[in-house]
Every structure is written in structure tokens, then in C-alpha cells.
Amino acid sequence: MGSFFRGRLHPSVVVCLTLILSFFSTSTLNADDCRRVPNILVLFDASGFMKEKDRYQLLLKQMGFFEKAMPVTADGFFNVGLRHYGLKVGMGCENTESILAVQPWDPEKFLNAFPKTVSYGVSALSAGLRAAADEVASATGKSIILVIGGGLESCKGDPVTIAEQISRNNPDLEIHTFQIGNAQDGSFYLRAIAEKGKGTYNSADASNNPAAWYAWMKRNLVTPCGPAVRPPGGSQASAPIGPVTFDYNSFSVRSTDPAADAANLAALQAVGQALRGNPAARVVLHGFSDGRGKPEYNLKLSRKRAEAVAQFLVTSYGIPTSQIGIVAHGASQAMLGTPAPAQERFGRRVEIEITR
């Protein structure tokens, strides 16, 4: 990189470029990802509890975040199913229903399978857990059950004991939980279920954007597998690519700062060539903002910046959109507080992560 520009740019510009790239050398990954868990069964709460205080709408919003994070986590090669544990009044506590069998990931089918509203009364988490375990028992490979909801039990069952039995009978199965609302009983049950199921307990309030789901998926669904993606020519990639930084309140990949503009073009060229030389590779573009303004504005701006990088790769290098994923993070955590003026630009960035 330095040798490429040394004969073309002023020495001070080269120094600035080097500093920008080295600043991010530890934060951008070029590792391949493999699926650690091929099968995911989402078990969601459709009981009367979820009708109150728009909790069901919050669940649908969370599933929208889930859908946006899934394809860029490990190329979307999961099998995903849906089952609920909300029961209609009068149907009995053992009645439960699968609304989407575990099958290859199809985001449109996944989102359309959710009822638009719920009219169910009884929360039978125990029955839902039993049915979910039975459903994934025949699946090939490791499976997880992802429980999302209030976590209440209205049928006098003991979901913790059920989770313990499931874990004992299916030692390779994991049960992870996400609580919607803050009911004390729900928190107790969902924490204990995750512990018995060798999974994680999470608050849905903390997963309020696709980036949060993406981070959770990276920790729990995929694992690095194999060498970094090789650039054209077959030599091993020795350093991360990027980032692309932005002028204040801008989502153009071109900058009025000559040094930043040159660094951006070099990063875009590197990722464009890497993807052209590796059709099986994918790039995840992580958008950030510097934190000025309202959180909603920062999230929207960070997405626009990632989309601008994606559009540049499509139009300038012919990269198919199927090779590109986007995760909007909003304000960069490193920039929260009162950063020095020289550091603010680093908050306005798109980090580049290449996976295969």
C-alpha cells in the first residue's frame, strides 16, 4: 500500500494513510466463517401476555433485525423453523403448533410465517419446549432452540425441569433465550432454561438493532474455519482491508480530504479485487457514525454509508449484491463522549469484513 502511493503522493499524505490503516488493523477481520450450528428453531411467545403493551409488535421488530443479521453472518446457510407456545383458550395445555418446519433459510417465508396479530390466551412454555425438542431431534447436525418471549408459564408446568430433561436427552442441543418485557417470573424461567440448556440468556431490549443480533450470531452460530480469504494471485492476505472513512454528515465514499480520499479508493480497490478473485467470498460492511445527533439519525446515516460502499463495489467492480451484506451500528462506541477533532473522522467509517 505504502509503496503503491509513495511515488504518487506527497510524503505527508502517505504518513496519514498509514496511520489511518494501522488504527483499524485490529478491528477488521478477514477470517472465513463456518456454521457451528446448522439448525435453528425459533420458539416464540404468542400468548395473551404478548398482546399487552405492544409486546408482540416488539417481537416482530426483533425478528426483522434477526432477518437482516442472518444472511451476512455465515452466508445464510442455516436451516430455520418457527414454532409458538401461545395456546388458544380452551385448547388444552398440551396443544402447540409448528408454523414453519425447519428448512433452508428463506427470509421472506420466515417473516411471512409470523401471525400479524395474536389472539391466544394461555402461555404454555413447557409444552412449547417439549414440542420444539421433538422437532429438532430428527435434524442432521447440531441444533439450537431460540426462545423469544415473555417466558411465563400459565399451565402449572415446570419449564426448567423440562429444559433439564431435554438437555439430558439431547446433549448436543442448546437452548438460548431472549426475554421480551421484564416480568419477574419470565426472567427466572428464561435464565434457568438457558443455564440448563447450555445456552445464553439475553434481554430483547439490548438487541435493538441488526448489529446486536449480528454480534450474538457471530458468537453463538458461527466459528472461524480455515485461512483468510486469499487475494488475486494466491498469496495469503497479510493485513486487513479498510476502513472507508467519511466527511462530516456525508455518506459519499469520496472525500474532500486528499489523504482520506486516496485511502478510501485504495481500500475499495483492494476489496473489489479480493471479491472478484474469490467468487465464493462475501463482504460484510459495518457502518458507523460519530455520534452527533439523535440515535435514530446516527443509525440511518451509518446504514447509508455502508450502502454507499456497497453501491460503489457494484458499479465500479461489478460485484454481485449477493456477495455483499450490510450491518448498521449507528454511533461508534469508540467515539461516544468528547473525542478530539482529529479522531472524529474515525467514527465516520465503514469497516470491511471478508468471509467465505
Within 10 angstroms of residue 2's Cβ, the number of other Cβ atoms is 11
| CA-based nearest residue to 67, from 293, 326, 354 | 326
Within 10 angstroms of residue 280's Cβ, the number of other Cβ atoms is 11
Within 10 angstroms of residue 212's Cβ, the number of other Cβ atoms is 18
Reported as a single tens digit per residue, the pLDDT across 24-37 is 333 333 344 577 88
Longest Cα separation, the chain: 80
How many angstroms separate the CA atoms of 328 and 64, rounded? Answer: 14
Q: Are 114 and 82 in contact (CB under 8 A)?
A: yes
How many angstroms separate the CA atoms of 69 and 74, rounded? Answer: 10
Per-residue pLDDT for the chain (356 aa), expressed as one digit of tens each? Answer: 433 334 444 444 443 444 344 433 333 333 445 778 889 999 999 998 998 888 999 999 999 989 888 866 655 678 999 999 988 766 778 778 899 999 998 889 999 999 988 877 888 999 999 999 999 998 888 999 999 999 999 888 899 999 999 999 999 999 999 999 999 999 999 999 999 999 999 998 887 778 888 889 888 888 765 444 443 443 333 356 878 999 988 999 999 988 888 889 989 999 999 898 888 888 889 898 888 888 888 889 999 999 999 999 999 999 998 889 888 888 865 444 444 555 677 888 998 888 76
The pTM of this model reads: 0.68
Phi-psi domain of 242 (left: phi exceeds 0; alpha: psi -120 through 50; beta: other)? left
As to burial, measured by CB atoms within 10 angstroms (0-12 exposed, 13-18 middle, 19+ buried), residue 273 is middle
How many angstroms separate the CA atoms of 295 and 231, rounded? Answer: 37
How many angstroms separate the CA atoms of 343 and 262, rounded? Answer: 18
CATH 3.30.413.10 fits 2-32+226-355, yes or no: no
Beta strands 174-179; 143-149: pairing state: parallel
Helix, strand, coil percent values for the chain (each to nearest 5): 45, 20, 35
Residue 90 grid coordinates: 380452551
As to burial, measured by CB atoms within 10 angstroms (0-12 exposed, 13-18 middle, 19+ buried), residue 216 is buried
Architecture of domain 35-223: 3-Layer(aba) Sandwich (3.40)
Distance, CA of 30 to chain centre = 17
Domain boundaries, the chain: 2-32+226-355, 35-223
As to burial, measured by CB atoms within 10 angstroms (0-12 exposed, 13-18 middle, 19+ buried), residue 308 is buried
Torsion of CA 337, 338, 344, 346, to 10 degrees: -40
**Residues near 3 by Cβ (< 8 Å), separated by ≥ 6?**
none
